[in-house]
A and B are shown apart, each in its own frame.
Chain A
Amino acid sequence: MGLKSIWTKIYQTLSSVRTGIFLIIVVGVFSAIGTVILQRPTSEPSDLQRAYSPETLLWLDRLGLTDIYHASWFLVLVCLFCLCLIFVSLDRWPNAWKVYANPVRFATAPFRASLPQSVKIPVKDGVAALSVAESILGRVGFKAERVTNNGETGLFAEKQRFSVFAVYLVHLSLLFICAGYYLVDSTIGYRGYIQVPEGQALSQILLRDNRGGETKKMLPFQIRCDGAGMEAYADGSPKKWWSNLTLIENGREVVAKKIVVNDPLSYKGIRIYQSSMGDTGELKSLVLTATPSNGGIVETVKVPQNGKAALADGESVSVLRWIPNYYIQDNEIFKKSDDLENPAIQLGLTDLKGETKKLWMFPVQLNRTKDEDVSYVFSLAGQPQMVQFTGLQVSYQPGQFEVWIGVVLMAFGLMIAFYTQHTRVWATVISDGKGGQILWAGGTTNKNRDRFQAKFEQIKAALQEELGGAAQANKNSENTLTKA
């Protein structure tokens, strides 16, 4: 007893298929549990608070049950499973390689005894019988080669020898996927969110952590939004969300692209997705109807934020304050939200002397200015245009290449594993110990034994028909000869 035997024990445990299957079932069960308990990364913190009592939530968090797939104990399970895959493969590899590189071409007596499928037929002429067997094997798709061993001649044929590697390919693909996801993407990869208002360039994204909070992260470049919008179908449902983005690295514009949902922008492995869209609450422009108090011509002017619009009589109008959704408390106007619901607009009317009069307008209550001693009455013509922001999902997943490699390997591996099989057949002439000759034929496969069994039955039937018949015929002709 000692360290060595402990290692042997661990190696034995981890290199058993039983352990692997047990581990994968445990991982599956916990994955299923993770779909029943709300998970931090995929649900809103408020949903969790509503669904569970504070103590329950505390314990769920402590046990990692609110983020099972990234919990340390889940990682340990996955690591153990990967180790198991590696050990199982290492343990069985030498044998598989031997079968592949040095196939048993001649069926010696002990080997013959170990084969599950075999047939013995007494024959007169061993050499001729072997030729018959060769042609029968050829007919069922086995191209046999002649093998000699210590002066004995035999037949050997095999199909789909590469099939022995399928299991290693599948194991390797699983390792690739686990490594890509857990080793790379869960450690150096990230996924965050950023809102960029039109015309601005930002580089700080927010990442959701597994405690329901958010952490900040700086991107190595700035994202500038040059415009964003939505196209709708005739029935009003959204057809397309788009944003024109420019990436600025070290003060230089490095890449520009119009992104839409399902078509992200990718730069240095960082991918930027269209996720949402909305109003910032800041005004872009207003369209006003200006009615002169003295009965002149009514005109419509467009007032940009931070700008003025000239009126016919030489005066000008500007927007002094803009509140998209207001409320009044203690005779003061406050902002309730950034949504365009109940706006308050303060206009400035600058006369020819350069003096500015402040005019309030609350379009939801009354769509015109109420001040009577001024030269114009203004009212809102159409929806105010607000500055849009584009909500972007930013993700860095350098491990995805390993994952895709793993997926492709797995597809190949599974196809080979489930739909091909390494089948081998041998035939040789042996002595029956009484001076007679026996044609022996046997075969084996590494999987899907029923199917091979059916195939071997076919071979057996053909051999018995032709050789048994031939032996009979030989005997008959001999009999005839002796009689004659």
Chain B
Amino acid sequence: MSQARVEQQRPASGAVLLVLVGLGIAFALLVALLAAAKAHTGPIYGEANMLYAALVLYTGAATLYMGYGVTGIERYVSAASLLTALGFAANTAAVAHRWSVAGRPPFSNMYEMLLSFVWTLALLTLIAERAYKVKIIGSITMPITVVSVILMQLLPSEVRPLVPALQSTWLQVHVTLAMLSYAACAVSFALAMMFLIQDNMKTEGFQAITATGMIAVYAGMLITRFRSGNLAVTAYDLESKSEVMISRGHPLFVQIPDLGWLYLLVLVSAIVPLVLYVAAQVKKDRSLFDVASKGMFVTILLQVVGLAIFVTRVKNGRYGAPEADGLYATAMPANPFLLAGIVGGIVAGLLYLLLLWRREGLQKMMPSADKLDTVTYKIICIAFPLLTLMIAAGAYWANQAWGSYWSWDPKETWAAITWLVYAGYLHMRITRGWKGRRAAWFAILGFAVVIFTFFGVTYLLPGLHAYAAG
């Protein structure tokens, strides 16, 4: 029996090697990124060291989970699970240390929110694995935690005292609920994708989803940051560890020459497979799928090259801006949106490749479609009340701090739209009995809106206006 299994897996072993090499390169890249991170001082149990430990453990766990995804070796999961639990312990220590130093829960800036988000995501992964026996979920959530922790290493992390507007218990409640509900939405998304895999959706379909995601990332980036061939990035003062501001609320954008063209090329390379997919669907010509599949390799490769060039150019060099004289440095922490987008695109690409090469193995490892469908629904049942309370707490806080419970601020509006989408999911599921594929698509749409609310509203919408103004 086991002999038969090994036989079955042999044709994929070349691909396995490729994925492992890819993972190795990704890990080397992460370590290189970390070289830019701050020196770790303070007590061994201190936040920085604990977070570093969590990063190492999470990276190990992510690699093992993905290794499990590739090879299907069960032993990897128990080891990955152990590493996740240890990383979670270190993460908890980091949170606790920061909490005790600051004297308040860590939710006040991007760094602290990511710290809490990672903690929640690791916890939910462990719960999903133990309680619902969804083992493969770690190969999606753990890479997200790794990317988040790396992003955190690059963000300013000093414990800053709270400015007056943030000194409210309601804000803490609001942000805690937001983190919990967004993490639950992330898990429901992963489960919905897995459902689609188990529901025998064609691999070309996932290729189209991946390509659409990549197009969204690069189109968003180019709409806001493309300046006649150059890529605009936020200037960063390395000494004060802060963005360079022209005036209040208007950061200075410097332009990295020609990077805009490269990203335009990436965008085009991501559009090609999607167009081919649509053409193949319309013409019912399967040979076009194979071409589209090759196109995906090209775009993933280009994206990795794009990331490497982005990192090196950001690290070494000073750039000019039309609004200001002189040359300015820039840094990763000033551009979390760009970095998250590029890394997110590559991760999505790697997951797609995993599916492409190891679909049968993956399907054997995952719970049944019915089970995944039910668990997705259960997780959304948890996410939705959290989302509701999060919006209510936010409105109550705004009423205390700004004099109005609802002022149609873009963040508020998009939170309400997110709420509507998930309310729609539950409504359709409960009263109309929507389940299976339609429900899964609904859950995916919900998470896309969450991502937009989290990243798009913060970086894309103001960027859009900054561009219009420029």
Look across to chain A and name the residue whose beta carbon is closest to the beta carbon of B424: A21
Assess whether A350 is interfacial by the CB under 8 Å rule.
no
**Apart from A31-B408, A36-B461, A273-B402: 17 A-B pairs, beta carbons within 8 A:** A31-B416, A32-B417, A52-B468, A69-B408, A181-B406, A240-B164, A240-B167, A261-B164, A262-B165, A274-B164, A393-B403, A400-B399, A411-B388, A414-B388, A418-B384, A418-B430, A447-B430
Q: A400 and B161: CB pair below 8 A?
A: no
Interface residues of B (CB under 8 A from A): 160-161, 163-165, 167-168, 374, 381, 384-385, 388-389, 392, 395, 399-410, 413-414, 416-417, 420, 423-424, 426, 430-431, 433, 435, 457, 461, 464-465, 468-469
Q: A264 and B465: CB pair below 8 A?
A: no
Interface residues of A (CB under 8 A from B): 21, 24, 28, 31-32, 34-36, 38-39, 41-42, 47, 50-52, 69, 181, 191, 233, 235, 237-241, 260-264, 271, 273-275, 393-395, 397, 400, 403, 407, 410-411, 414-415, 417-419, 447-450
Q: A397 and B404: CB pair below 8 A?
A: yes
Q: A34 and B164: CB pair below 8 A?
A: no
Contacts of A275 in B (CB 8 A): 403
Q: 9 tightest A-B contacts by CB?
A: A35-B410, A261-B164, A395-B403, A51-B468, A447-B430, A233-B161, A393-B403, A50-B469, A69-B408
Q: B420 and A24: CB pair below 8 A?
A: yes
Nearest Cβ on chain B to A245's Cβ, whole angstroms = 14
User: What are 6 A-B contacts with C-beta separation under 8 Å?
Assistant: A235-B161, A261-B164, A273-B402, A394-B403, A407-B392, A411-B385
Look across to chain B and name the residue whose beta carbon is closest to the beta carbon of A235: B161
Q: B430 and A42: CB pair below 8 A?
A: no
Contacts of B409 in A (CB 8 A): 42
Look across to chain A and name the residue whose beta carbon is closest to the beta carbon of B399: A400
Q: A271-B403, A400-B405 are in contact. Are A28 and B420 (CB under 8 A)?
A: yes
Contacts of A238 in B (CB 8 A): 163-164
Look across to chain A and name the residue whose beta carbon is closest to the beta carbon of B423: A414
Contact of B164 among A28, A239, A394, A419 (CB under 8 A): A239
In the assembly, what is the distance between CA of A414 and CA of B424, in Å?
12
Contact of A51 among B417, B433, B465 (CB under 8 A): B465
Q: B431 and A447: CB pair below 8 A?
A: yes
Contacts of A411 in B (CB 8 A): 385, 388-389, 392
Look across to chain B and name the residue whose beta carbon is closest to the beta carbon of A260: B164
Contacts of A42 in B (CB 8 A): 407-409
Nearest Cβ on chain B to A99's Cβ, whole angstroms = 15
Q: B388 and A410: CB pair below 8 A?
A: yes
Look across to chain B and name the residue whose beta carbon is closest to the beta carbon of A21: B424
Contacts of A38 in B (CB 8 A): 465
Contacts of B395 in A (CB 8 A): 407
Q: A415 and B385: CB pair below 8 A?
A: yes
Q: B403 and A41: CB pair below 8 A?
A: no
Q: A449 and B433: CB pair below 8 A?
A: yes
Contacts of B161 in A (CB 8 A): 233, 235, 237, 239
Nearest Cβ on chain B to A423's Cβ, whole angstroms = 13
Q: A448 and B388: CB pair below 8 A?
A: no
Nearest Cβ on chain B to A222's Cβ, whole angstroms = 19
